[in-house]
Amino acid sequence: MNKKVMQGNEACAHGALAAGVRFFGGYPITPSTEVAEVMAKELPKVGGKFIQMEDEIASMAAVIGASLTGKKVLTATSGPGFSLKQENLGYACLTEVPCVVVNVQRGGPSTGLPTSPAQSDVMQAKWGTHGDHPIIVISPSTVKECYTLTVRAVNLAEKYMTPVVFLMDEVIGHLREPIDFDEVKDLEVVDRKKPDVSPEEYVSYAAGEDGIPVLAPFGTGYRYHVTGLTHDEQGFSTMAPPVVARMNQRLMDKIDNNLDDIITFESENLEDADVVLVAYGSSARSAKEAMRWLNAADQNVGLFRPITIWPFPEKEIRKIAGNVKAIVVPEMNMGQLKLEIERAAAGLTKVIGVNKVDGEPITPEEIINAVKGVL
């Protein structure tokens, strides 16, 4: 046993280092700043680079530039900074440059509640940048997961050549609890593919059968063009409708064809449940506590916790919806993931939100009251 009491933000940074992240570009913003602080201290020790850029837009740009040299990269931000990063986040989606964007959610809109938690960037994480594009969004519920799931986020970014949003919240970011480092020391680490053809034969955006392109690091003899314009397989801009359609479709397919690999979740007591709580991030902790008390009172209540929020575990929710009286969704927003759950449930059951936007976490009592209203 090798337990250390650590903060969620610190665990996220250490997870990134364990995953092989060697470049961090960021800008200070509460409540995510500790991620940058740990990276500033630790990266030089392993020969990595840290830079505090002049703004959030620049830090997103810098990590994309660094990623194109073959480095694993990460940036961390919160609410307003996440808004500023959106244009270049879209750039990374289209140009298929791996990067991880940590967003430690705080109360909004605008400057909002800088030191208080929220979960109100769930929809922004998917739809914040313009245009249709795929994205992977992962949400941790424990400090240990801040570590292990950051490793997973980096792995998914490298494997699928895509940005991954690591969607934390202030509660988890600032919470301290023990991590047993013996339990996390042998996590799988994935590196992006390298070209297996000569520079003459290399076609940058001609993805293989898996639909995922292989982008050679700049400086390794494979000269190619990267552009935020819609481009063809050679990487050059095009307006030819069939090519545009084909490239956009491939971009979506590389994620949609791999849902079983990308989507992870935790579930408990789903068999015989009358009510299932669907919760993520720190609200899932409140939901678990509520479930424990309700189960102790012989109520059949289960829990489904999406760890991957986007792509959304639609299939799993549909299955649950067919078997229960209601799905209760506690989230620190006005009902964002609830919309997606309603869509997936397709009218098979009631979907009830427990919503809170006052800067305080949702309590187990609030969830219990909502469940009692249904049972």
Partner 1 sequence: MNSAYEKYFRQDRLPHIWCPGCGNGIVLSAFARAMEELNIDQDKTVVVSGIGCSSRATTYVDFNTLHTTHGRALAFATGVKLANPELNVFVFMGDGDSSAIGGNHLIHASRRNIDITAIIIDNNIYGMTGGQYSPLTPTGKKATTAPYGMVERNFDLCELVKGAGATFVARGTVYHAKQLTDLIVAGAKNKGFSVIEAVSQCPISYGRRNKMKNALEMINWQKEHAVNVKAAQKMNPEQLKDKFLIGELYRAEAPEYTAEYDKLIERVQKGGK
Partner 2 sequence: MFEKWDIRLSGTGGQGLILGGIILASAAVKDGFNAVQSQSYGPEARGGASKAEVIISNQEIFYPKIANANTLLAMSQQAYDKYCVDITEDATIIIDSTLVKNIGADKAKKRFIIPITELAKKETGREMTANIVALGAIVGITKVVSEEAIKEAVLERIPAGTEEMNMKALNAGMKAGQELLQTMAS
Q: What is the contact surface with partner 2 in residues (CB under 8 A)?
A: 3, 5, 114-116, 171, 174-178, 282, 285-286, 288-289, 292, 361, 363-365
DSSP calls for 18-77: HHTEEEEEE---TTTHHHHHHHHHHGGGGT-EEEE-SSHHHHHHHHHHHHTTT-EEEEEE
CB of 301 to partner 2, least distance (A): 14
Q: CA 283, CA 305: separation in Å to the nearest integer? A: 10
Site string for partner 1, 215-234 (x = CB under 8 A): --xxxxx-xxxxxxx-----
Residue 52 vs 363, nearer CB to partner 2? 363
Residue 213 vs 281, nearer CB to partner 2? 281
- DSSP single-letter state for residue 373: T
Residue 246 vs 292, nearer CB to partner 2? 292
Maximum alpha-carbon separation in the chain: 69
Q: CA 305, CA 54: separation in Å to the nearest integer? A: 37
Site string for partner 1, 82-121 (x = CB under 8 A): -----xx--x------------------------------
3-class secondary-structure state, position 317: helix
Among 14, 71, 85, 152, contact with partner 1 (rule: CB under 8 A): 71
Q: Does 2 bind partner 1 (CB under 8 A)?
A: no
Residue 44 vs 373, nearer CB to partner 1? 44
Q: CA 26, CA 21: separation in Å to the nearest integer? A: 14
Q: Does 240 bind partner 1 (CB under 8 A)?
A: no
Cα within 13 Å of Cα(74), Cβ side: 31
CB of 271 to partner 2, least distance (A): 21
307: partner contacted, choices partner 1, partner 2, none (Cβ within 5-8 A by kind): none
Residue 7 vs 162, nearer CB to partner 2? 7
88: partner contacted, choices partner 2, partner 1, none (Cβ within 5-8 A by kind): partner 1
Please give the structure tokens belonging to residue 84.
């500023």
CB of 339 to partner 2, least distance (A): 25
Q: CA 105, CA 83: separation in Å to the nearest integer? A: 12
339: partner contacted, choices partner 2, partner 1, none (Cβ within 5-8 A by kind): none
- DSSP single-letter state for residue 299: -
What does each C-alpha distance from 1 to 8, 93, 149, 183, 184 come to in angstroms? 20, 40, 21, 8, 11
Angle between helices 337-345 and 314-321 (to 10 degrees): 60
CB of 217 to partner 1, least distance (A): 8
# binding residues, partner 1 (CB under 8 A): 43
Angle between helices 8-19 and 143-160 (to 10 degrees): 40
Q: Does 181 bind partner 1 (CB under 8 A)?
A: no
Q: Does 23 bind partner 1 (CB under 8 A)?
A: yes
Residues that bind partner 1 (CB under 8 A): 22-23, 25, 44-45, 47, 49, 51, 53-55, 57-59, 61-71, 73, 87-88, 91, 217-221, 223-229, 236-237
